[in-house]
Amino acid sequence: DGGITQSPKYLFRKEGQNVTLSCEQNLNHDAMYWYRQDPGQGLRLIYYSQIVNDFQKGDIAEGYSVSREKKESFPLTVTSAQKNPTAFYLCASSLRGQGGEQFFGPGTRLTVL
């Protein structure tokens, strides 16, 4: 299951705190994505990046921020503005512009206490 990793696997946060989720890939993929997964909701796109130093909002970007300073890394910050942050977060990567397979990381389960 190598290639794309996320850390930590479980994360607990108090209300009002920002928290950053890590995503790293060694697949030499240009494109990277962040999804949020809630029961019965499928995979909803938070942010995506097609190339270093560029990223775009997805369908549910409010309360989240990202950066893409390196090709290998696409960290996601869940800010205190996100009203319901408890969820399973998945990072993915793919070859840019290929319309092909996205490779997923193992996910981070965030719980707000």
Partner 1 sequence: GENVEQHPSTLSVQEGDSAVIKCTYSDSASNYFPWYKQELGKRPQLIIDIRSNVGEKKDQRIAVTLNKTAKHFSLHITETQPEDSAVYFCAAPRSGSQGNLIFGKGTKLSVKP
Site residues for partner 1 per CB under 8 A: 1, 31, 33, 35, 40-45, 48, 50, 56, 90, 94-102, 104-107
Q: Smallest gap, in angstroms, from Cβ of residue 4 to partner 1? A: 9
C-beta closer to partner 1: residue 79 or 95? 95
Q: Which is nearer to partner 1, 17 or 62 (CB)?
A: 62
> Cis peptide leading into 106, omega within 30 of 0?
no
Beta-bridge mates of residue 79? none
CA atoms within 13 A on the CB side of 45: 13
Q: Which of 88, 86, 91 is nearest to 113 (CA)?
A: 86
Least separation in angstroms between residue 113's CB and partner 1 is 21
